Amino acid sequence: MLTIVSKAEALSTITGKCVAWLTLAMMLLTCLIVLLRYGFNIGSIALQESVLYLHALVFMLGAAYTFKDDEHVRVDVFYRTFSARKKAWVNILGGIFFLLPVTIYTSYLSIEYVSASWRVLETSQEPGGLPFIYLLKTLIPLMMISLIIQGVADIGKNIAILQASDNSNTVKG
């Protein structure tokens, strides 16, 4: 099980670190857009949409990496004071009853939505916009798949934490 966890986490790490570089590209592109717009009075819908695409890539493909490093938003009024064992239980139950059902259901719902976009090769409604809306929409199931993989890895990692604490209690007892 730990092999599966480490491979899933390696996938999330590689994806997250690659996607993180897109934030630099997004910042540089935003600076270029501002310079062109206010310095030279040149506007470009395609460049503006490119920033939106990059933002979507960073957010959606970086979600599993953020989850892996436990950097996601968490309301931890009680969680932060829990023991490692209680945290492991919260993470396992949260993964099983919240994360996996929501991601699986969202994946299911997105199939027809994304398929319809691919069938017509959906493009931007803006004149001069990017012709790749179907690729952008494809990020939805990709995000869900990456979160499912990382969620299963997280459940496995927390089961290992519980087993390790059981073994250490057995040795002490």
pLDDT in tens, 36-94: 999 999 999 999 999 999 999 999 999 999 999 887 777 777 888 899 999 999 999 99
The answer to whether the pTM exceeds 0.85 is: yes
Average pLDDT over residues 125-137: 94
- In a 10 Å sphere around its CB, with 0-12 CB exposed, 13-18 middle and 19+ buried, how is residue 157 labelled? buried
Whether the CB-CB separation of 160 and 1 falls below 8 Å is answered with yes
Cβ partners under 8 Å of residue 46, min gap 6: 128, 129, 130
Q: Could you give the 3-state DSSP secondary structure of residue 41?
A: coil
Average pLDDT over residues 22-49: 96
DSSP 124-146: -SSTT--S-HHHHHHHHHHHHHH
The boundaries of the domain holding residue 6 are 2-172
Q: Give the pLDDT confidence score for residue 58 in this predicted structure.
A: 95
Q: Give the pLDDT confidence score for residue 170 in this predicted structure.
A: 61
Domain count, the chain: 1
Q: Give the pLDDT confidence score for residue 75 in this predicted structure.
A: 72
172 has pLDDT over 70: no
The span from the CA of 67 to the CA of 158, in Å, is 14
Average pLDDT across the chain, whole number: 92
Return the percentage of the chain with pLDDT > 90, whole number.
Answer: 82
